[in-house]
Structure 1
Amino acid sequence: MDSQPAPFVPPAPKPRTSPPSTLEMIRIVYRNPLELWGEPTYNEPWISVTGVGGPLVVANDPGLIRHVLVDNAKNYKMATVRQLILRPILRDGLLTAEGEVWKRSRKAMAPVFTPRHIFGFAEPMLRRTLEFVTRYEDGGVSDIAHDMTLLTYDILAETLFSGEISGEPGSFAKEIDRLFETMGRVDPLDLLRAPEWLPRLTRIRGRKTMAYFRKIVTDTVKMREERLKRDPDTVPQDFLTLLLRAEGPDGLTRAEVEDNIITFIGAGHETTARALGWTLYCLAEAPWEREKIEREVDAVLAREPDPTKWLDAMPLTRAAFDEALRLYPPAPSINREPIEPETWNGLYIPRHAAVLVMPWVVHRHRKLWDRPDAFMPERFHPGNREKIDRFQYLPFGAGPRVCIGASFAMQEAIIALAIMLSRFRFDTTAETRPWPVQKLTTQPQGGLPMQVTRRGS
């Protein structure tokens, strides 16, 4: 019989008990925005204040979140600050495109993300994971946070490009990390809503990396285009081919194809990597949960060779991943801005207000969750999952702009976890002291050094 102690409470900033000064706030936002929020934010249905950059509304109530993201989504555009950070990297990719460009792109790309295509990527995901985990055969300590970025990059390179990338693959993976480290941060001038012509020092450093990165993508697209013309019957049916076939007057422009490749790399590589790392960390600190998952994984892999069936066949593994996504949402903030002022249930939302729907806060809200800071995968076990409001759990967003790659990410995560946990055990060490930091994603500052041992050894 399992001995189950009190739930593990993973590291997170304590809510502030007093508001910061303006200077302190700018410093916190630049260093780690997760440390900014105070007790009221985790207890009230919404917060409405006027701050440095103008009116600010923090939306926590599921009804208000639904209103902003779904019911009246047409009145809300992407927030100016968010666009200032992301558009220099992603341009007209799905995350940052707006208006007609976004509608046309979303429609053109919907066929790329059908279940048929997602299932078609399961075998490459499995193959790359099996190749990747051979590095753990001899055991030892490894930084799992870094490893997961390498694994998800391998999977993405296979499903996006079938490994056919212009230039040297190792440098490509390295440049991705550098790009999002230098470019994906809030600059104090963005917070103050300074004019766009004022140079952002935090992003000047990333321009060389951005140019290099875009050249690789452009050259890779050209390489595939030439192969499509030369020998269309042998071209792999990966994301790149599907995107190029979505080109045309009613579909994507060439620039949008490239923008969306960069978006997939940013949204589909970094986010899944972070979620996998946090999942392995939480399971290492809650071995009683890990044991249940090991039993489930072993049983499913013994009877079901088809990886497209694993997501439905492994509810406990999925629940642990979902709970890690709750505690450490890869995209910790969804930012909107009303086009016209409006009132919702007595809350006045002025024009140009910064409206924040923050999964980081909503997922830890005292009125929405029991023991919100604890790692408790049973919240997502069958029978419990159905009781969670659609708008209190937002790892992939919601509404028209919900993440188009959510099914891809979930399939990838379960395949990766199943293979890793069936063969190896990941344990924390004295040096494993991660601290969640919001950059483009929720990252573990200090990495995740973990002891890896072969199961049964």
Structure 2
Amino acid sequence: MSFQPPYPKPHVRKSSFILRFLRGWNSWIDVLFERSYSMKMGKISQPGMDIFMVNDADWVRRILGDTHQYPKHELMQRALEPLLGSSIFTTNGDEWERQRRLVEPAFAQARLKLVFSLMADAAASMLQRLDAVADGRSHEVDGEMSYVTADIIFRTILSDNLEASTAQEIYDAFLEFQHHAQRAMILMIYRLPPVLSTWGSRRAARKIRAILSGIIARRMAERDEGKLSDRQDILSGMMDAVDLVTGDSLSYEELVDQVCTLFLAGHETSASALTWALYLLSQCPHLQDKIVAEIEAVVGDREFVAGDIKDLPALGNVFRETLRLYPPVGFFVREATQSQCIRKKDVKAGSPILISPWLLHRHRTLWERPDDFAPERFETEAGKASAKCAYIPFSKGPRVCIGAAYATQEAVLILASIVRRYRVDADPMHVPKVVGRVTVRSGNGVRVRLHRR
């Protein structure tokens, strides 16, 4: 049993030059047209450059697999630099490889097990907050998912608890940042100066960076003063990391950039996915019953432990299908470093190449019922084959997200905690409006009704 959740219906034909600007001003998804979801490669002519959209699975694998020939394009770097600085998400070449070596060990499997209890503490705090609104009334869950994922970041990366006022400040600042960063990118594509948008994104970024940098400065001061710490958080792992190639470690400024990146990648993207997952579950009571039965069989009445995550396949498939339909990061921008021919199109050196999980995950020739919510597809041979070639919610290749296992552990824990405790019902008066900015969100929020079981 499946259903088709909302998404912006594509236009019949490609938008004109002016219409692309107007439609993309608020959401890049609104620019897409019907053939976007079936073509293998497209070309968009812009002032001074051509942008290429690649949906061919073999070329996607090739482009994402070669970070030297296809590094990240400056468009994305310039749009995200106010918040992320010079971090693992925005750098290329030797500097990216150095940062990857320093950051990756902090997300090793052993450390993920150590931080599971911190994730569980944040989930327990979330349940206490939700108890107050689990009365059957329509409730906005977007903000709550942002709160709990930010709380998990604070606890697991920084060993700090997140106050409600700070959570709201971060949530508002991220919305503001996304709004301006999206418009800055559109203006840059049209060769227009993004002065006001850049000013707005820098203002929002300063709010977030001020909150995080103060905590990092305090921790580094404690270390420099020789104060011993038994913290096992991810920041400790990054502070202690030494690059075996260069012998150096991350500076204070670099740590701030990396933590801001982890905040965007580990908080904003997870909040997006969890919000959409709750909406999808609210439409499928039968799936909730299946998940509850699965939890009772595997976990019973005890608390969740790290080993339970892999033993909840029905819930894992719900999360995978949510990431397919609503990938938090809807597109990646790479640069062709040399002129070449891709699928009979001449791609000049310096041209932006867009690879879109949003399009690849809904491609008409690569998936059965591509717009349907059908978690069971990952148990079929056809679904497994599609996933192998056309499923990239965490990217692919050397730049695959280092926090993929972290995000999966977090998401399954939160969803399992909610479904075990509440029945999640749909609000028949509410239909989310999908918008694509830095992440894929609902422009009018997501509302559900919670009832204690």
TM-score normalized by structure 2?
0.92
Match status 1:21 vs 2:4:
no
Gaps of 5+ in 2: none
Question: How far apart, CA to CA, are the structure 2 residues paired with 1:166 and 1:222?
Answer: 19
SS of residue matched to 2:228? helix
Amino acid at match of 1:254: Y
Are residues 1:210 and 2:205 paired? Answer: yes
What residue number does 1:78 align with?
72
> Partners in 2 of 1:90 and 1:265 — Cα distance?
9
> For the Cα contact (< 8 Å) 1:167–1:216, is it kept in 2?
no
Q: What CA distance in whole angstroms lies between the structure 2 residues aligned with 1:318 and 1:336?
A: 30
| Mean CA deviation greater in 218-227 or 199-208 | 199-208
**Counterpart contact for 2:41–2:343, Cα < 8 Å:** no
| 1:11-410 pair list within 5 angstroms | 11-52=6-47, 54-70=49-65, 72-138=66-132, 139-140=134-135, 141-163=138-160, 169-170=166-167, 172-174=169-171, 176-187=173-184, 188-194=186-192, 198-230=193-225, 232-246=227-241, 249-302=247-300, 305=303, 307-344=305-342, 346-381=344-379, 386-410=384-408
Q: Which moved more, 1:426-435 or 1:275-284?
A: 426-435
1:360, distance to aligned residue in structure 2 (A): 0.6
CA RMSD of aligned residues (A): 2.3
User: Which stretch of structure 1 is more off in the superposition, 199-208 or 324-333?
Assistant: 199-208
Give the whole-Å Cα distance in 2 for the aligned partners of 1:175 and 1:39.
34
Letter in 2 for 1:201: L
Give the partner amino acid of 1:144.
Answer: V
SS of 1:453's partner is strand
CA distance in 2, matches of 1:235, 1:175: 33
1:158 is displaced (CA, Å) by 0.5
Q: 1:295 to 1:383 in 2, by over 3 A?
A: farther
Q: Is the 8 A contact 1:366 1:372 kept in 2?
A: yes
Seen in structure 2, the aligned counterparts of structure 1 residues 87 and 311 have a Cα distance that, compared at 3 Å, is same
Give, in whole Å, the separation in 2 of the partners of 1:41 and 1:234: 53
Contact in 1 for aligned 2:239/2:249 (Cα 8 Å): no
Cα distance in 1, alignment partners of residues 177 and 204 from structure 2: 10
Q: Distance in 2 between matches of 1:293 and 1:166?
A: 31
Q: 2: CA distance between counterparts of 1:75 and 1:413? A: 34
Offset at 1:85?
0.8
Q: CA offsets, 1:209-265, max 9 Å, x none? A: 333332333321121122224464334121222221126753323211110010011
Native 8 Å contact 1:179 1:206 kept in 2:
yes
3-state SS of 1:129 partner? helix
Hey, what's the Cα distance between the residues in 1 that align with 2:168 and 2:6?
A: 33
Seen in structure 2, the aligned counterparts of structure 1 residues 68 and 170 have a Cα distance that, compared at 3 Å, is closer
Tell me the secondary structure at the aligned position of residue 32 of structure 2.
Answer: coil
Which amino acid in the other structure matches residue 409 of structure 1? Answer: A
Alpha-carbon separation, structure 1, partners of 2:168 and 2:283: 34
The equivalent residue for 2:451 is: 453
- Greater alpha carbon shift after TM alignment, 54-63 vs 199-208: 199-208
Amino acid at match of 2:202: R
Indicate if the aligned counterparts of 1:317 and 1:414 stay in contact, CA closer than 8 A. Answer: yes
In 1: Cα distance, 2:145 partner to 2:422 partner: 14
Question: For residues 323 and 212 of structure 1, what CA distance do their matches in structure 2 show?
Answer: 34
Q: For 2:116, give the aligned amino acid.
A: A
Contact 1:297 1:418 in 2 (8 A): yes
Quick check: 1:315–1:382 contact (8 Å CA) kept in 2? no
Deviation at 1:32, TM superposition (A): 1.1
Other-structure match for 1:424: 422
- Distance in 2 (alpha carbons) for counterparts of 1:403 and 1:375: 24
Shift of 1:399: 0.9
**1:418-447: CA deviation from partner (whole Å, max 9, x where unpaired):** 111100111121332101101111001111
Once structures 1 and 2 are overlaid, which stretch shifts more, 181-190 or 369-378? 181-190
- Which residue identity does 2:82 align to in structure 1? P
Residues of 2 paired with 1:66 and 1:329: CA distance?
17
Deviation, 1:171, is 5.9
Instruction: Provide Cα deviations, 1:70-104, integer angstroms capped at 9, x if missing partner.
Output: 1x432112123212211222111111111221110
Identical amino acids, percent of aligned pairs: 28
3-state secondary structure, aligned to 2:388: coil
| Ranges of 4+ aligned residues in structure 1 off by more than 6 Å | 164-168
TM-score (structure 1 length as normaliser): 0.91
Once the 2 structures are TM-superposed, how far is the Cα of residue 382 of structure 1 from its aligned partner? 7.3
- Which AA in structure 2 matches 1:205? G
In the alignment, the residues of structure 1 paired with residue 172 and residue 413 of structure 2 have an alpha-carbon distance, to the nearest angstrom, of 26
Question: What amino acid is aligned across from residue 405 of structure 1 in structure 2?
Answer: G
Deviates more, 1:411-420 or 1:279-288: 279-288
